[in-house]
Amino acid sequence: MKETIWTLSIILIAIIIVTILYKIAKNKQPNKDFSGIQYRVKVWWGMYVVFFFATLFSTKLSLLSIMLLSYFALNEYFSMMKTRKSDRRLFLWAYLMIPVQYFWIYIGWYGMFIVFIPVYVFLFLPLPRIIRKGTVGFLRSVSFTQWGMMLMVFGLSHLAYYQFASPEHGSYLVLFLIILTQANDVIQYLISLYWGKRKVVPSANPYITWEGFIGGMLMTTIISFLLYPYLTPFALNFGILSGIIVSLAGFAGSLTISVLKRDLLIGNKEKQELLKGRYLSRIDSLTYTSPIFFHIIRYYFDFM
């Protein structure tokens, strides 16, 4: 318990310091766009609260928190789509699948957890859209819904499974993953903002550059090297490799969500501004890093 309290205290101090530095930088450089940092700082405070309750009180509370995060992220995702009345039944069924997915985590049924959305939901979710709703726009609405379920529900639900798969190390692995993911995003953003020249995909994400990507990967790997002895049971080689894995996965997740948002909000600048910096902008990288890191750990280590 003492180690947990010390860890939580150090994290709290670190977040407070970063928040103060962000405020100072924003005041001294008002012409710079620090919106990306602002969103990440808000994420850190939210994740800290979840981790606080998960480690000191109950993994069930953490499960509920992440389930609500999936709901809000999926709801925001659906709000971007130009929908018809025929899509509403499909969306309702998608929402109903969220507690079912998290129920498999609660009872520890890994086999069903891992196939429920990719197999059963994929095969049977189209039925509510087919019955008495015709064929117009069928492929677009169904594929759109399934993409959302995979990213916002299946991907994020892995955050909750760490603690059930490994009660001893799970909460610290989640903390380790979140720190690396968020640090990678912020470092990529800052390097791209100050020194970036070659944009990776300017049509999807105008902020990330190749300089930011490479710098983010190097710094995330260093942070992983510094933190792994305290937050993970990993050896040196995997402690270093973790930074590379999270950086690559986070980069892919950030770009993918950016492309999805750009595609769905083309010609709708009002809604684009309204949704700027909300759930999808804050957890985009985690939709990729959570499942990829989880399955690599589960494959190579017995404690998962």
SS3 200: coil
CA distance 170 to 158: 11
State what percent of residues in the chain have pLDDT above 90. 33
pLDDT averaged over every residue in the chain = 82
SS3 209: strand
pTM: 0.84
What phi and psi values does residue 244 have, to the nearest 5 degrees?
-70, -45
Task: For the chain, give every domain's residue range.
Answer: 60-300
pLDDT of residue 174: 86
Which residue did the predictor score with more confidence, 164 or 12?
164
**Residues 137-186 pLDDT 10s:** 778 888 888 989 999 999 999 989 998 998 888 888 988 898 898 889 88
What is the arithmetic mean of pLDDT over 274-301?
Answer: 80
Tokens of 52: 């606080």
What is the arithmetic mean of pLDDT over 227-247?
Answer: 93
Tokens of 93: 């069924």
SS3 199: strand
